[in-house]
Every structure is written in structure tokens, then in C-alpha cells.
Amino acid sequence: MADIDDLVTQLAALTAALNTAHTAPQAPHIDALAAAIAQLQQQQQAPTPTPSACVLPVFVLNAANPHFTKSWFAQAEMVLQLHTHNDADKVRMVVSSLDTSTFDKVRRALLPDIITELQDFAKLKKEMIKLFDAEDSLFARRFAALQVEWSGPEKESIREYEARIRECMGSFDMDNFGENEMASLIYVIGMKARALEPLRTMCVDALRKNPKIPLKELSEMVAASILTRQEQQEKSSTER
């Protein structure tokens, strides 16, 4: 920068000397040179633009949203894409967005890794989602989608409701959703009576482990459970 300033000063002095030494017809050329030098000086003095800082949204856990952490990371990663950072920097920025209580929870979840030494952004993301978000199965997402309710435009606009339905459909995995999967959903949803809660829970647990369990097999499992319960009741009555 100093060398350029020296050069500009020397050129300015040269221009002044030429203006003094040359005749009037040549003055326009000298004036053009002087204008160019002045423009160069202004460019050299102009401040260099400062890049905007990378600021992540504050992480405030929303217990009403079972997938809040996953959503938060999606937003945070969009911000990070606007800047150039290595994994270690990303980890520090995410950690700096946590309050003291949340920081302690994340720190314990990462053990035996030391959070102050962690440089793996993907691992931090995975552990935080595992720690704070609800863990659900494919069947549970399908089941929840069929329980969706709309309370009217006073509480949720029709467009918001439409977007929620589209999100629910994304959880269905339609490429692997056939007649048997639909039948299983209807089978479980039909068990609405309070007395059937144990049977419904048994079916849900089985479908969590295997969303493709055949309806016939599911029904035989329920029948066996009912038979066992009836036998226990008869035995209890006989003993009395």
C-alpha cells in the first residue's frame, strides 16, 4: 500500500511539472492524466468491505415439536453454507448457541468425547438429535399421520393445514406402503376402546419392529393374547 501511495505522489508531482512546462494545447492530455491519478487515489483510500459475521439462531428447545433439533440444524446449516468454515469452527458455533443447561446435557451425551476437544460436526448433530428429538418408527409416523386434526382457520390457516398434510405424507414412505401396510394401520386404529389398550400397544410394538408384518400374523398374535387372558380369567374363577 505504501509503495502505491509513493507512486501516486510521484505521478502527481510529475503531472504538476508537465503542466508547468508544456503549452496550452497539450493541457487536456495532462488534465486527463491528473484525473486518472486522482481516481486512483480515491480507490486506494476506499475502505475494504467487511464480510458479514456468521450468526446461528439461538438453540431454544421447543418441547411441543418432537423434531425441533433436526429442524434447527437444517436452518443452522443454511447459515453455515453462506460462509467458509471447517468442522471444528462449526462445532464451536453450534455450542456457543446453547444455554448453560443445554450445554451440560450435550456435554454429558458426548462422553467419553470431550466437548471442548470435539471437531466432528456430524457427530455433534447426530448426538443432539438423538438426545432431544423424539425417536419414532415408520409405523408410528404413519399412525400419527392418520390422527391429524384441523381446528379451523381461527387457530391454523388452511394453507398451514395443507402444508402439515404434505409433511405427514412425506413420512409415509409411499414406495413401501401397500395394501398390507394400510390394512395394519386400519386394524390398529380400530382398537379405540380403553379396554383394548393392551392389545393396541402390543400391535404397535410389533409394527414398530416390523412395519411389513402380515395382517394375518398380527391378527393371530392378538387372538393368542385374548385366548391367554381368557384362560387366566377362567383359572382365577375356578380357584375362587
Chain centroid to Cα 112, Å, comes to: 25
Amino acid found at 108: R
Residue 17 has pLDDT above 90, yes or no: no
The answer to whether residue 38 scores a pLDDT higher than 90 is no
Residue 69 above 70 pLDDT?
Answer: yes
Q: For 78-137, write each residue's pLDDT tens digit.
A: 999 888 888 999 999 999 999 999 999 999 999 999 999 999 999 999 999 999 988 777
Give the per-residue pLDDT at 47.
55
CB 82 within 8 A of CB 51: no
pLDDT digits 0-9 by tens, 133-172:
887 778 888 888 888 889 888 988 999 989 988 888 877 8
Q: How far is CA 100 from the centre of its chain?
A: 21
Query: Grid coordinates representing 139?
Result: 409405523
pLDDT at 24: 47
Identify the residue with better confidence: 222 or 83: 222
Element (H, E) at 32: helix 27-45
CB 204 within 8 A of CB 141: no
Cα–Cα distances in angstroms (integers) from residue 118 to residues 57, 122, 163, in the given order: 21, 11, 37
